[in-house]
């Protein structure tokens, strides 16, 4: 399923990705530092959504309280909670 989230406190405006059977696919950021975001996207590709979220959660960018990887982790956690609540229904 495809998810899109608006980022807060980062140079990138949003992140879009798929979660298929618990696996991250097709991570795309809008705006931000292109090279770094391509790296994050490629490293996340094909990995467990839970694993990716745990690895990148809490990363900070300079003096900011968040970062693009941290925003991705929050987006993944939100998507996983949406999936869990849908499964419970």
Mean pLDDT, the chain, integer: 95
The closest of 88, 62, 56 to 75, measured between CA atoms, is: 56
Angstrom distance (rounded) from CA 73 to CA 50:
9
**Which residue shows structure tokens 């993944």?**
76
Q: Is 88 a residue whose pLDDT tops 90? A: no
pLDDT at 87 (0 to 100) = 73
For residues 14-29, average pLDDT: 98
Spans of all domains in the chain: 2-88
Residue pair 47/27 in contact (Cβ under 8 Å)? The answer is no
Give pLDDT tens digits for 47-82. 999 999 999 999 999 999 999 999 999 999 999 999
Model-level pTM?
A: 0.93
């Amino acid at each position: 399923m495809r998810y899109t989230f608006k980022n807060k406190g980062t140079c990138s405006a949003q992140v879009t990705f798929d979660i298929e059977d618990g696996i991250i696919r097709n991570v795309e950021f809008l705006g931000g530092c292109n090279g770094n975001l391509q790296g994050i996207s490629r490293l996340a590709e094909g990995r467990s959504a839970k694993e990716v979220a745990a690895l990148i959660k809490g990363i900070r960018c300079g003096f900011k309280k968040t970062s693009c990887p941290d925003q991705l982790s929050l987006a993944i956690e939100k998507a996983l909670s949406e999936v869990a609540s849908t499964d419970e229904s």
